[in-house]
Amino acid sequence: RAVEQLREQTGDQAYRFIAVRLPYQVQQDEADAQASLATIRADEEQTVNIGPSVKALAEQLEALEGLEPAKSDFVIGNIKARIRMVAQYAIAGARGGLV
């Protein structure tokens, strides 16, 4: 574990490993997500449901109106990825961390 090694090398216990869960609405594999969290043993866990943010942005995009379902799903998938990135960087920025 990189954070544990960093603490040992520097003698600074302030370094933290924050696990961030970023589900979209209801997470169908919630049990798997919880098992993963138990395995990685982060110092802290944060969950940000990206559903409301994705929905709010999609509602403002006139370009999505009238798209074929496959194209709309593709665009929404990209929005989800970018919102997840924004959430991770926001948490890191607020905590003085790295992504």
Please state, in angstroms and rounded to a whole number, the distance separating the CA atoms of residues 64 and 68. Answer: 9
The CB density around residue 54, as the number of other CB atoms within 10 Å, is 19
Question: Mean pLDDT of all residues in the chain?
Answer: 94
pTM (predicted TM-score): 0.86
Q: What is the pLDDT of residue 90?
A: 98
Residue 1's pLDDT band, with cuts at 50, 70 and 90, is: confident
Which is it for the CA torsion 62, 66, 69, 71, positive or negative?
negative
